[in-house]
Structure 1
Amino acid sequence: MGDVAEARGGGVPGGDPLRWTRGWRRTVLASGMLVYPGVTALGVAQYATGGTAVVGYAVVAAFCGGYALAGVSFVSGHRARTGALLWSMAVLCAAEVPVARNYAFFLAAVVVSFAAMALRRHRALIVTTGALAALVVPWAVRPWHRGPGWGEALVIVFTSLMVLGYSEIATAHRALLEARAEVAHLASEAERARIARDLHDLLGHSLTVVAVKSGLARRLAESGSPGAVEEITAVEGLARRMLTDVRAAVSGYREVTLAGELARGRELLRAAGVTADLPTATDVVDAAHQELFGWAVREGITNVVRHARATRCTVRLAPDGVEIRDDGTGAGAGTPAPGGNGLTGLRERIAAAGGTVAAGPAAPRGWRLRVTLARPGPPEPRRTTKGASS
């Protein structure tokens, strides 16, 4: 359950999986756009004096307030209010043009990028219109003695692209984390259902027998029959066997078995979008080796999912070995995570059993992890000494 909680927490136990797409981090990033009104204020200082300068600074301040309100409205999902605030910001930007001249188009960069993010259907038209205005107006207003506003147009285009790119990344990241949390939740629910089903299958029959025998013992005891003691003894023995079965079932969920790891591996590969070519039976493997091969299958499939970037994973069983192969382009079944000790632990287990682990690239592509145990050799023929004849 700790892994599920960690997945739902975005990789940090107890964390918020959406922390990078909301809260103070998003506020800090959005506040970076206030640099542009600051640049416009420099234009007011350069081109205006007296009352005109006061008006210019007031417009910049009002623009900043409108931007903050528009950001809150956009996050809250109030589309109509956001649209009205964007229009008011556009009007303030136009009112600033006679005061700050070409510097007013830094305000336009904020309006255009915000509008392109909020109105994605028309983003190309919005960015093109803003860039053309910044390019043409400084050239068209002759008293400014300026040519086309190439710098301002580039600021508008690249700012809009930056904001749209961040918006796309944040949206995709949020969707990915929500999907991962949902998958973890579904996996947890499936595990609960599996345990409930297995315990029901294990205990259903035994509890029914206990109930029937207990009722019989009660009736025999009421009639004074000595058979009641025999039935109670049978119930006691059945209860002890049930307790043993439950302990075995619980320990079975924690211990590694080859059949269990193949079943878990098939589900893990399916969830990761990897085609699983796994055996459906394990009787080819000796019972003494099934747990050991289960460890190998667990390590191999886990590394395929984590590192291989594969589309297919194949597991082959033999009486003396198991092979996990993938067709990936990254590190595969034979490569542990950086700093991990999964493969090291597997090598130690196999070495203790007298076997070997081979991991490396597979032809024509992918990785292969192969565990091989030494086959017992044929028994040596008994040597007999020829006695001397007397």
Structure 2
Amino acid sequence: MATHDTDPQDRARFGRLLGAGIWLFFLGNPLGALFRNDNQLERYSGVVALVVFVPVYLYGLGQIPRFHIERRYLAAWTYVSVLLACFAVTIPGAGDQSMTCLVFISALAVAILPKWQAGGVVVVTFAAITAAGFWVDGWSAHGNNFAVLLAAAAVWSFRLAWQRQAKLMAAERDLSELAVEEERARIARDLHDILGHSLTVISVKAELAERLFDDDPVRAKAELEDLQRLSRDALADVRSTAQGIRGISLPGEIASARMALESAGIEPLLPTVADEVPSRWRELFAWTLREGVTNVIRHSEASTCEVELDADRIRVTDDGRGPCPDDGSGNGLEGLRQRARLAGATVTTSAGPGERGFSLTVTVPA
């Protein structure tokens, strides 16, 4: 049989009820006083009131989030009023021991009412118990007035902790939604970069093939073959982007490199298309472009960066200060070399034209 994890809200509710239920044994004081009362009507009416008091109190505690999230404060006052009515019914039979009920009423009020209303209930309850201990003949507060303050303070601390947890969970949900929206926007940008040019070229070649179909069938066939290749490449790029948060596309990297270089104050001399690069080499070339441009921005102090892109080669060249002291053997280039080895390609680094700057070249098998 399959098992399912308990919902976090159910666990929190169970924890509240368990914590509250432990303290209900203090209701043994009014219950004992009721059973010592010889008046059967007062005794049994008080017992029934306590029997109603306990589940109403526990159910109210179990609904704390709903009272605050849905602002059901009228219903919260209804629960408090029911408990006050039960307390009133126990007074004739339990006497001053009935004031133990006010401790639980104050705790529930602090848990489910707006803070200023809850504070008012606590003050009134404390004053009522204290006054009754002084002014009602034969009655004593039995420390219930101070128990009200302690219970209110404890419940208030739990309430603050719950509110902080609720805000944290809401913030996590907002961050998750924001991350999803940002990822959707990123995919949309990548798809625009990938398909914008590819579909335009496909449309132009399709029109050319249609015009050449009667006059030059051989060239028309070549154009149709190009259409098939371009379609497969565009589809591969789309699949890579859609699968892939971890995916990387060459057209997308060209667009990103242009933006990054311009932001760094470096003039980008980049190709506008990547159609002649076969789909099997596009990911490797994209990683090469990313690593090369990153190094130019970080280390070169260059004014221009040029990218040359062919079917079997990509070269990233700058006119900066030249290779780093480690001779270009940093972690990024080493990772690129590993990728190239897996693909059967070679990585070459050298000085740029005129012995200025730095050149990174990746050559793939023909």
**TM-score normalised by the chain length of structure 2:** 0.58
The SS at the match of 1:254 is: coil
User: 1:40 aligned to 2:30?
Assistant: yes
User: What residue is the counterpart of 1:130 in the other structure?
Assistant: 125
User: 1:228 aligned to 2:205?
Assistant: no
Deviation sequence 1:206-263 (CA, Å, 0-9, x none):
122112212321343256644312322332443465467568868995389xxx9xx9
Q: Distance in 2 between matches of 1:250 and 1:200?
A: 12
User: What residue is the counterpart of 1:163 in the other structure?
Assistant: 155
Q: Distance in 2 between matches of 1:201 and 1:60?
A: 72
Deviation sequence 1:11-43 (CA, Å, 0-9, x none):
xx998565555x544443454453443443234
User: 1:208 aligned to 2:195?
Assistant: no
User: What residue is the counterpart of 1:178 in the other structure?
Assistant: 170
User: What residue is the counterpart of 2:360 in the other structure?
Assistant: none
**Contact 1:37 / 1:64 at 8 angstroms: preserved in 2?**
no
**Contact 1:130 / 1:153 at 8 angstroms: preserved in 2?**
yes
In structure 1, what residue type is equivalent to 2:203? A
User: What residue is the counterpart of 1:153 in the other structure?
Assistant: 145
Q: Distance in 2 between matches of 1:85 and 1:16?
A: 26
User: What residue is the counterpart of 1:4 in the other structure?
Assistant: none
**Contact 2:47 / 2:90 at 8 angstroms: preserved in 1?**
no
Q: Distance in 1 between matches of 2:246 and 2:236?
A: 16
RMSD value, Cα: 4.4
User: What residue is the counterpart of 2:78 in the other structure?
Assistant: 84
Q: Given the superposition, is the C-alpha separation of residues 79 and 73 from structure 1 closer, same or farther in structure 2, using an over 3 Å criterion?
A: farther
Question: Unpaired segments of 5 or more residues in structure 1?
Answer: 1-12, 264-279, 295-315, 320-348, 354-390
Q: Distance in 1 between matches of 2:240 and 2:52?
A: 72
In structure 2, what residue type is equivalent to 1:40? P
Residue range with higher mean Cα deviation, 215-224 or 187-196 = 215-224
Q: Distance in 2 between matches of 1:62 and 1:247?
A: 63
Q: Which runs of structure 2 are paired with 1:189-208 in the superposition (5 Å)? A: 189-208=181-200
**TM-score normalised by the chain length of structure 1:** 0.54
Q: Distance in 2 between matches of 1:250 and 1:232?
A: 27
**Contact 2:34 / 2:94 at 8 angstroms: preserved in 1?**
yes
The SS at the match of 2:162 is: helix
Q: Given the superposition, is the C-alpha separation of residues 189 and 49 from structure 1 closer, same or farther in structure 2, using an over 3 Å criterion?
A: same
Deviation sequence 1:171-220 (CA, Å, 0-9, x none):
22112102211211220121122012112112211122112212321343
Q: Distance in 2 between matches of 1:119 and 1:94?
A: 24
Q: Distance in 1 between matches of 2:6 and 2:182?
A: 23
Deviation sequence 1:82-139 (CA, Å, 0-9, x none):
3233223213213323432332122001112222331422233221221122223123
Q: Given the superposition, is the C-alpha separation of residues 85 and 249 from structure 1 closer, same or farther in structure 2, using an over 3 Å criterion?
A: closer
User: What residue is the counterpart of 1:28 in the other structure?
Assistant: 18
Aligned mate of 2:44, from 31, 48, 54: 54
Quote the offset at 1:48 in angstroms. 2.1
**Contact 1:105 / 1:134 at 8 angstroms: preserved in 2?**
yes
The SS at the match of 1:143 is: coil
User: What residue is the counterpart of 1:270 in the other structure?
Assistant: none
Q: Distance in 2 between matches of 1:143 and 1:84?
A: 32
User: What residue is the counterpart of 2:273 in the other structure?
Assistant: none
Deviation sequence 1:144-166 (CA, Å, 0-9, x none):
4x4xx262111111111111221
In structure 2, what residue type is equivalent to 1:109? V
Q: Given the superposition, is the C-alpha separation of residues 186 and 85 from structure 1 closer, same or farther in structure 2, using an over 3 Å criterion?
A: same
In structure 1, what residue type is equivalent to 2:50? V
Q: Given the superposition, is the C-alpha separation of residues 99 and 240 from structure 1 closer, same or farther in structure 2, using an over 3 Å criterion?
A: closer
